[in-house]
Amino acid sequence: MPEPSMVPPQTHYARSGDVNIAYQVLGDGPIDLVHVPMFVSNLELQWQDRDQAKYFRRLASFSRLIMFDKRGTGLSDRVGIASLEERMDDVRAVMEAVGSERSTVFGSSEGGAMSVLFAATYPDRVTSLVLYGAYPRLAAAPDYQEGFPQEETKRVLEAVASRWGQGALRMGLLAPSRAHDPAFLEAEARWERLSASPGAAIALMRMIFDIDVRHLLSAIHVPTLVIYRTADIVHAAGSRYLGTHIPGAKTVELPGADYFPYLGDQDAILDEIEEFVTGVRPAPEPDRVLATVLFTDIVRSTERAAELGDRRWRDLLETYYSLARRQLGRFRGRELDTAGDGLFAAFDGPARAIRCAAAIRDGMRALSLDVRAGVHTGECELIGEKMAGIAVHIGARVAALASPGEVLVTSTVKDLVAGSGIRFEDRGAPPLKGVPGDWHLYAVTSV
């Protein structure tokens, strides 16, 4: 059974007029925080993504986090697209359903405009306003050059109409760092399909390009935090406008090109929000997670490089990494680092790591190259996008002991994949350089 803190919250429904609005509540902090999502969302699907789950649990660590799907999207009633006013009423309905009299309202992207309207209309219900990657208006106008030009607006609408459900639109605009990650593309495509129908998506985008709340900004009289990533091509200019025109707003610029706040250094964003909402900046604390690490490298790489010459060796390395990345996408692995001819990746399951290692090895054999691999499962320290700790050192040492073409694992991994059909051969307990204790190792004989 998962720990209670890891169980996704239950979905409930609030009545807003004749429409059912899906919502969830997580955490029991002293501050209510209503999260107004972007464009489209899906409350239950977000918990299946490790980065999103971590992001929302962190928000819930210092608040009572109140989340909902806007009408017409996600788990809420799939009704026709409503006005900004009607959708603002959904925020009030959810707050009343959970007994929240006053709350911090946290809006991102298009949800920022709704949050601005709510804060201006119901200042007695809002303790503070947080706007991440938001804007007052998305389309450019003669007196608003920060928005999308008309020709770009047309291209976006055409792309939504023709490519919704494929994931590429959201990745290219909102997650450029993951634009070539096939596993992420597949997840985003599924997110789109389960969050809104194509008709709803295009209707929403048309409405979003018509929104303009600039005239409300001077009416915001609650403490406001505006935060954004400087290279976010969709939202940065609009966020700067908000920071300049909301009275007394605090503006924080952070590096990065991805809009999605759970990608990249999410702690930098969350630290700013927590300090603004609670008045206390959290002390840095390493985040630890159970993960399976995989290390691979090419056997006799120095000799082969000398035999082939620099250009042919470089081409071969590119083929190796291309093959390895395809297998990482297939087995849901995450590339963490490459150095020389080595690859370091992490998985959320040891069986997938073993099968990925075997697939990389078999693919390279077709090129007359031997790859060796080491796999270990243990608690790792997360440092931004990287992993560190003794478990990582063990994985590297195990890989160094593997024979050409061998996938070598620790006894921890062997025990965890019992019943998977993967078979092993005992390799004894050789010392692992710099690692205390005895570590029994096993070679994978079939997957």
Domains along the chain with CATH numbers: 4-278 (3.40.50.1820), 287-446 (3.30.70.1230)
pTM reported for the whole predicted model = 0.66
pLDDT, residue 422, reads 94
pLDDT band at 3; cut points 50, 70, 90: very low
d(CA 160, CA 317): 37
- Rounded average pLDDT over 140-149: 90
Lowest mean pLDDT, pick from 67-76, 214-223, 336-345: 336-345
Over range 320-348, report the average pLDDT: 88
- The sign of the CA dihedral 223, 106, 174, 39 is negative
- Going by their DSSP bridges, the two strands 250-254 and 342-347 should be labelled as unpaired
Instruction: Indicate the DSSP class of residue 7.
Output: S
pLDDT, one tens digit per residue, over 188-222 is 889 889 999 988 888 888 888 888 999 999 999 99
Strand ranges of the sheet holding 12-16, from the earlier edge strand across to the other edge: 12-16, 19-26, 64-68, 32-36, 103-108, 126-132, 224-229, 250-254
For residues 356 and 273, give the distance between their C-alpha atoms in angstroms, rounded to a whole number: 38
For residues 296-305, give the mean pLDDT.
82
Cβ-proximal residues to 401 (8 Å cutoff; 6+ apart), any chain:
374, 408, 430, 432, 441
Element (H, E) at 390: helix 390-401
Instruction: Give mean pLDDT, residues 256-278.
Output: 93
Summarize the confidence of residues 25-32 as an average pLDDT. 94
> If pLDDT is split at 50, 70 and 90, which confidence band does 369 have?
confident
* C-alpha–C-alpha distance, residues 288 and 71, integer Å: 37
The reported pLDDT for the residue numbered 50 is: 87
Place of tokens 């630890």: 288
Q: How far apart, in Å, are the Cα atoms of 116 and each of 195, 246, 261, 435?
A: 24, 10, 19, 55
Tell me the C-alpha distance between 84 and 174, whole Å: 23
Return the closest-CA partner of residue 69 out of 91, 92, 48, 51: 91
Structure confidence at residue 383 (pLDDT): 74
What is the DSSP track for 228-248? EETT-TTTHHHHHHHHHHSTT
Alpha-carbon torsion, ordered 413, 414, 415, 419, to 10 deg: 120
Give the residue-averaged pLDDT of 64-85: 89
Q: What pLDDT does residue 285 have? A: 58
Q: What residues contact 370, with CB distance under 8 A and at least 6 apart?
A: 298, 299, 300, 361, 364, 404, 405
CA atoms within 13 A on the CB side of 210: 10
What does the CA dihedral 106, 110, 112, 118 come to, rounded to 10 degrees?
A: -100
**What does the pLDDT read at residue 6?**
55
Q: Where are the beta strands (DSSP E) in 239-355?
A: 250-254, 287-298, 334-339, 342-347
Quick one: average pLDDT of 254-265? 92
Can you tell me the mean pLDDT for 84-88? 82
For residue 281, give the DSSP letter: P
Residues 161-174 have a mean pLDDT of 78
- Give the 3-state secondary structure of residue 165: coil
pLDDT tens for 100-127 read: 999 999 999 989 999 999 999 999 999 9
What pLDDT, on the 0 to 100 scale, is given for residue 318?
85
Contact 95, 105 (CB under 8 A): no
pLDDT tens for each residue of 392-443? 999 999 999 999 999 999 999 999 998 889 999 999 999 888 788 888 999 9
Mean pLDDT check: name the lowest of 40-54, 75-89, 119-133. 75-89
Of 267, 283, 286, 287, which Cα lies nearest the Cα of 59? 267
Whether residue 86 is predicted with pLDDT greater than 70 in this model: the reply is yes
pLDDT, averaged across the chain: 89
Q: What percent of the chain has pLDDT over 70?
A: 96
So what's the pLDDT on residue 284?
Answer: 58
pLDDT at position 1: 32
Both structure tokens of 41? 């969302």
Beta bridge partners of 376: 293
Q: Three-state SS across 259-271? A: CCCCCCCHHHHHH
Report the length, in residues, of the chain.
447
CA dist 213 and 304 (Å) reads: 63
Q: Does 239 score more than 70 pLDDT?
A: yes
Answer yes or no: are the C-beta atoms of 33 and 59 closer than 8 Å: yes
Contact 278, 31 (CB under 8 A): yes
- pLDDT at site 169: 65
